[in-house]
Amino acid sequence: MKKRMTITDKITKELREDIINGIYYSDSILTELEISKKFGGSKTPAREALGALCAEGLLERLPNKGYLIKRYSLQELDALLEFRSILENAIIELAIKRATDQEIQKLEAFCDDIDVLDDEELANQCVLLNREFHIRLAMLSKNPFLVSTMANIMDKVRVAMAFDTNTERLMAGHREILEAIRSRDYHEGMRWANRFLRYLPNSLIGRFMDES
């Protein structure tokens, strides 16, 4: 039986999506009153939601002021990208071993749906679509802890990279990863899983800033 979503859960989910979509500026101060008014309900579920997003690493609390979008250092971003590569190594390795052809085809159909979007639709939805792809990819591992951890690490990287809007970069590699899994090609899968490590320790930020 599916667990019923509480008001706190609803606020947390919608506020998380707003944050990773770049709705709030990095110096915006969010308050319990503002969030309770925006999403409805009392200040208590707003406070609980803001606290949950602090625990997830998307916000940080300023005593007696409110909440800021979490600021990550270059060293922390390097560590996040390294950890994401480690997660993807595990996910792809397990997916190669455990995913059925039907499950892989289902994720390929999800990519097909993305491909028919026009440029404006893709630009508006690419962040959440990219997140959803990687969550579904993690589900092919049949390990629920990898799924939840990948969702969180992607959200942290999103915030740490100052809400990168490069659609091509965000959506890159999806088909290639699925082809590696479908063909049970471990080495090609690992090549894509480790793609971020090519930019460590410092060149990714320079590349990102140059292209922004």
What is the pLDDT at residue 211? 46
Strand pairing partners for 67?
30, 61
State which amino acid sits at residue 85. Answer: S
What is the pLDDT at residue 206? 45
What is the pLDDT at residue 209? 42
Estimate the crossing angle of helix 174-182 against helix 74-98, to 10 degrees.
30
DSSP letter (8 states) at residue 3: P
Calculate the alpha carbon distances from 37 to 27, 41, 49, 68, 101 in Å.
Answer: 20, 7, 13, 18, 47
**Radius of gyration in angstroms for the set of CA atoms belonging to the chain, rounded to a whole number:** 18
What is the pLDDT at residue 210? 47
DSSP letter (8 states) at residue 28: P
Cβ–Cβ under 8 Å, residues 74 and 89: no
What pLDDT tens digit does each residue of the chain (212 aa) get? 556 789 999 999 999 999 998 888 778 899 999 999 999 888 999 999 999 999 999 999 999 899 999 988 888 888 898 899 999 999 999 999 999 999 999 999 999 999 999 989 988 888 889 999 999 999 999 999 999 999 999 999 888 876 666 777 778 889 999 999 999 999 999 988 887 766 554 544 444 444 44
